[in-house]
Structure 1
Amino acid sequence: MAQHWQEILPIDRYIVAANGLLHEYDRKVLTFLYQPLIGSTCFSLYMTLWTELEENRLWSESSTHHFLMNLMGMNLKDIYEARLKLEGIGLLKTFVKTEDGERSFIYELHPPLNPEQFFLDGMLNIYLYRKIGKTHFARLKRFFTDQQKPEEKVYQDVTRAFQDVFASATPGSLQYLQDVSEDIEEAGEHTQFIGRNESNPIQIDYRLFDFDLLEAGLNESLVPKKALTPKVKSVISNLAFLYNIDPIEMKNFILGAINPNDEIDIEDLRKGARDWYQFENYDQLPSLITRTQPAALHTQITEPKTQEEILIHHYETNSPLTVFKQFTGGVEPSNANLKTLEEIMIKYNLPPGVVNVLIEVALRKSDMKFTFAFVDSIASHWARKHVKTVKEAMELAKNNESAQNESKKAGKRANKKPIRTELIPDWFDESTKTAAVKGYPQEDNSEDEAKKRAIEEKLKAFRK
């Protein structure tokens, strides 16, 4: 995967386009429903590109990315990463053209889902619920809803039909209408009408789910193949991604969602999958996280040759769940392990590649245990060090290991009994003198005692 500076440069030009007219109401949807999922940086980029469009226009003037960097006060790497998130959630499409060595982009803004589509999406509403909690989710739902209009049965419909209000044109005016239609066709040859194209909900690729295995496990007498309509398949692939459900487990939810007409009730299918996930994960719902290391944070851009480069590439291109299973010999992580992985990625905002390194460090140091307290301590340290790439995580792990080894060696040296080779301090002589005054025995003081006795005898003789 290429680095961001290989995909985009400050001198590259771009034009902002809109896939239909954006409404003022879209700002509220983006602010309250999308911003909690994509973050303030992505929200700011979308709003900045939107502002570059003139009012009621579908195209902006050409600008350089250097201008965008100065406008937002951000570096190109953050802008590129935010762009990818907008693309992934369906708010932006990017087109590129290279001509005469110069590269130019078209950033096509797509309107967000309307509130009804969002709250009935089955994916984004689940992620939002987990992100902001039950209370705020209910508050937002009230914000975007209103009371239904009174029942039509109470009122009588008195609306006039078209033919009741308007009459057809007279024969003399038909030529005029023909001239007008010709003018419209000529004027609209290289133009388009400003309108509104509704966004489609996010759809996970069908190829990511093994429908052949699912159909093989379903009994034709219980679930006919015609029940797996395209709409049902789209829901199944989304649920499989959302709750990490394999085809064998999905079969049970489908059997529980069959109605008397041999049709699969989509709402029952969603409810069954959601209830199962909450039961398995202590009444929690899944969170929206990046599956693999973002391209902007890749450091291994060339063909890996050394063992270290191969390992970096592996961590940058695989999800934490895959790395965990590979490191444990294919053993599925427990629910507690999955919850720990999810919490550290969300709590400390660690990229997936860094979490992959953390998985190896934690399992090696704790005898293949993956306890939350130990993993949380490493994650918080790496978050404080602002570790973002796999290479940085590996270097920090090596340095910590070296520091711990040196500390152990120093501890062993400190436990050895030292040999006293220090010099006798000056205060030691004073203590011996004090001891002599108090009458304690001392060595090598015979000459002093003799002189003392001689002086005392002379004093006695002098007094007499």
Structure 2
Amino acid sequence: MKDNWKEIRPKSIFKTAIASPLADQEQAVLTLLYQPIIGAQAFSLYLTLLSEIDESGMSESLFHADLITMMDISMKQIEAARMKLEGIGLLSTFAKEDSELGIHFIYRLNHPETAERFFKDEVLSLTLLNSVGQRKLDKLFDHFKPKYLNLTGFEEVSVGFKDIYVFKEEQIVSQSKQLSQMEQAFDDPRPAGKPSAVNESFDWSYFVQGIEKLGIKLPDNNTGFKEEVFVFHNLFGITELEMIDFCSKSFDYYTSKIDVKDFERAIYRTYDPDKKQRLSEFQQNDSVDLSAEDQQTYRYNSLKMNGFSTQDIQMIMDSEKNFPLNYLEALKNERGGYTTPQERSLVKYLVSKSGLPNSVINVLINYVYNIQKQPTLKADYINRIANEWAQSGIFSPEKAIEHVREIAKKGKEQKQTRQRYGQNNRPIRQETLPDWVENPVEEQKLSKEEQARLDKEIQDFLSKGGDK
């Protein structure tokens, strides 16, 4: 079912629902904060689906062909817009198979976050920054931030609630059931649509059993802590037993619950930049039954046959053997540098949020640090590259290398075209390149023999000109 529902056809039936109407403030947040991220078509789809909902909170049954007519876009564009809404948490899609009508869909529109929660969410804030830029982000923040009064020198003289209204405390007990039902009715059933760092190579069940045997409990925010554990596993290659050991040193003795901050500090203290990091196991090729050593030989020969140089292959294999923070530490140590706290947070963020494999993140780090000669990793610059690679479907180190070379080649051709025709004011064909491409072509120095030959040709030319 999960694969079948993706094949939505114009004759597929759907209904749209929403728990409660959008407030004016929510519409402003949707327009000013979400629209720059999701784009015009996804924004239009949300409003179109919303317009079909009546007072019951649900629309009548419609065909997807109706959406095509109302929005004047193709089915493929509608699907792309729908996925943008789903990815950011504004839409949840549910499907049910009907023997007569085929697959029947329900699109549940979710309310946007409040402005406060939006700007407190680092993922949403950074995504908006990448969409509109720093200047526009600052204006949007000023627009939505609370406007507090300066009450210095004033004293509040307002009356209290019980001074005016009759309230019987005993009713809280007698009406507790009804009060509880009303409270629960307003709970938002929407699941958090956060990017996940879950990795099948880490046995979460085994880990939980291990800490429970020690009498340790998970923190209140189980989901958030689980993401934290998987991020650290991807960063440093920490095993289940090692993770259990960290938990045994970072729990509250009164509640027996893991203290997340102590847990993080314990890991960072152990995996200090000055210490040699443990490498992960070499990636296995499941299609070939070979030993670990033969797997590397197999991988080397495969890359060689695909035209990669020895230097390329070495970098690819290194990127596959190392976790990102280890990889960065090694590059820094080679030049006698060190990793800053900001870089550690940035690498952690990439592992957690970018969706790129560790090996691709390593190639990205190598590109910025070794090719672009940047002394430190800058968050805005790195995120622009990671975003472009993720959207281009670059999920292997060899694809990353090929992509960088293709971009560099286009940049060089574009520069040569400008030099050749720019002075004559002729139209120049411009190719759009990602804004992170800033790799200047190094000047090619002539050898002594070539320089001497060039000097002689210049002298011969000048002497002939003097004879005229």
Q: TM-score, normalised by structure 2?
A: 0.49
Question: RCO (CA 8 Å, sep 6+): is it higher in 1 or 2?
Answer: 1
Instruction: Give 1 or 2 for the bigger CA radius of gyration.
Output: 1
Q: TM-score, normalised by structure 1?
A: 0.49
